[in-house]
Structure 1
């Protein structure tokens, strides 16, 4: 495919094909998604025509100057897969030329992998084993993959109860606190057992929750890794069809919201060759291709990295990472799927990423808890804001308009619930 060379934001030449658009694919109602805005800007600044699926016409993504068109399509993520595939094909016909699919959630990533042959005409997507994204997005599937292929990359000790009685048996021998998560990614919106990562302090608290989980709890019960003895690391990467890394980055999560268990609010790029090697070898063994976002916790008690999440899609904070050649994981994906070489280059260490609307409450919460993050540099070499950009201000203003009143109420309620010990 032909196309001119475009200059990226740090001055290096990145040979993108401007004849191949990108489509941001999201299922479910989460209009304030800074990752989608970041992907639109990242490729849009290189001249790639960008399209996006949005809940309504007034999302921050729809307001970006780099978006050619928003396809308004409200979904829950729990629709029949055939219905979602047909909707994507309709959008493909309206775009009128092959486009690179860029999923922003597990539902989209799994659907695209499992229906790649049906989508292959109007869309470009990685040649991944159709069942692998679903497996890595599953907490149980990821745990099993770590046990089979980890070889240095561990998974926290876990149990997968299939009845209330098995929860009771677990509670009788477990060391508390423990963590509960939904076992499968798709349960998050259709019939979630818990609202997210939920720390449970006592046996009585676990059994009280379990009574509402039904005959099949649908949860993973996992050992709690105390933050005083741990470090939160992230890996973002893009892999080719042979599971070789085209771009691979490491960093530390400084703050998240809700505290210690939610999305990244503040992070730094930090070189970690050991972790990069562990992640690359694990992905090679399982044969994954495409973009991945990994969350890990380094447990200082045993000196091991423990893989908490493997998201088979771009992470919301992916713009934290960029190489000296101007490549991030979304650019690497577009280059690879359009047959272009991905320029090599070291990651730009010391860069900082801040999500403006959630970092302030996260900062207050972390200061109250007295927690500091090891390895975070004293001074950033540069800061990437999730929402504000001088060349594209409308997404930031749209975020403010949608966030300030309902968002502030939601953040306050989350914080009050957390202080009272209410499960999320």
Structure 2
């Protein structure tokens, strides 16, 4: 079998553009910038939906055109679909869609019939992305197919939580049940660790008569390892690109976005993920979060993102293929070159890894499987051939902090004058 090498040019179809699709206000998204660079370097015309003209994605040298379209995630689906169709008509030719969030992935899947004339995307089952993005839907699928996941409760009333508090094993974590709640009125902000029954009941009083939360088993970090799987599956749920890695740091610590990660070969985990995808019939790009529980020796699936992950550029095979390139090649009828993943590669998100490093050092937590030395480092923002996104990120990232310090200085100065 002939396997392409990194010196062999990747034969991308340059007549088919790519479009970064996002819903919501998160301008500092390095995943979108990574996708623009990845396909843009192959000569694929790249377009993106942006919050304004001065987001990092909007200033990339590889962006052919940007569409300023601020959204909140609270718009009616019909409005969002019509907006996408307008963009499609403006581009003027079939375009590969690249969602960067669950809302966009679900929207595309649930309105595939309307969007298919203008866009190319995997033919995933209509209801599947929404179910996978839901904590409850994912847990039910894991139970159905025998995939380990943390023990969980989906309470329907305060009384149920009250009864559970008397028998639960603490600490535990609370998360929003549905992926989209963060855009509306979330019951909790991110992953919330709950120390005991009194704290649980105090929080639950604010969740209303129908709590939109999941109460989940806490996997102690000193007894666990965080693993990630990224892959692209074709219409037959066959993996055309499969990668595994270990998360070293995240921000916020232990519960947020990946700040630092390494590629580490894990055939067992890759096989588990591929089997699960085959069973549920998913196709497209996936970003999975697993936690290895050393207490029982099992990998437990925490999150299933039915779209590209922000850290996807961590992973590349010997032929230069990442999941975004794999999808574009497959949807345009090109062969996806095979190759082993480049083990030992490191991915660093510059603006969040520094505070994450400080937090992890204070906690004394280390990642056992992280290599002592990286075989190569991929930075989320800095790229020699495309520096404007980095400087734009820096300006937007630093400005709120400078403003906060200025306001603090003024308030203290005013207080001193009053005294």
TM-score of the two chains, using structure 2 as the length reference: 0.94
From 124, 127, 131, the equivalent of 1:128 is: 124
For 1:144 and 1:408, the matched residues in 2 are separated by: 46
1:275 aligns with 2:248: no
SS in 1 for 2:105: helix
From 319, 323, 339, the equivalent of 2:333 is: 339
SS in 2 for 1:175: coil
Which of the two has higher C-alpha Rg? 2
From 44, 48, 59, the equivalent of 1:48 is: 44
Partner of 2:157 in structure 1?
163
- Structure 1: gaps of 5 or more residues: 1-6, 411-424
- Residue deviations 1:193-224 (CA, integer Å, cap 9, x gap): 11111111111111111111111110000000
- Residue deviations 1:210-243 (CA, integer Å, cap 9, x gap): 1111111100000000000000000000000011
Write the mapping of 1:23-422 to structure 2, written as runs, cut at 5 A. 23-150=19-146, 153-406=147-400
Partner of 1:417 in structure 2?
none
- Residue deviations 1:49-103 (CA, integer Å, cap 9, x gap): 0000000110000010000111000001121000000000000000000000000
Q: Is the contact made by 1:78 and 1:186 (CA closer than 8 Å) also made in structure 2?
A: no
- Residue deviations 1:324-351 (CA, integer Å, cap 9, x gap): 0000000001011111110000000000
How far is 1:11 from its partner? 2.4
For 2:348 and 2:42, the matched residues in 1 are separated by: 23
Q: Is the contact made by 1:176 and 1:201 (CA closer than 8 Å) also made in structure 2?
A: yes
For 2:117 and 2:59, the matched residues in 1 are separated by: 29
- Residue deviations 1:372-415 (CA, integer Å, cap 9, x gap): 001100000000000000000000000000001325889xxxxx
SS in 1 for 2:243: strand
For 1:406 and 1:305, the matched residues in 2 are separated by: 39
- Structure 2: gaps of 5 or more residues: 405-419
How far is 1:13 from its partner? 2.3
For 2:156 and 2:403, the matched residues in 1 are separated by: 36
Q: What count of residue pairs does the alignment treat as equivalent?
A: 401
SS in 2 for 1:173: coil
TM-score of the two chains, using structure 1 as the length reference: 0.93
For 2:122 and 2:402, the matched residues in 1 are separated by: 39
For 2:103 and 2:367, the matched residues in 1 are separated by: 32
For 2:95 and 2:69, the matched residues in 1 are separated by: 18
For 1:347 and 1:15, the matched residues in 2 are separated by: 19
Question: Which is further off, 217-226 or 196-205?
Answer: 196-205
Runs of at least 4 residues off by over 2 Å: 10-13, 407-410
Partner of 1:416 in structure 2?
none
- Residue deviations 1:286-340 (CA, integer Å, cap 9, x gap): 0000000000000010111000000000000000000000000000010111111
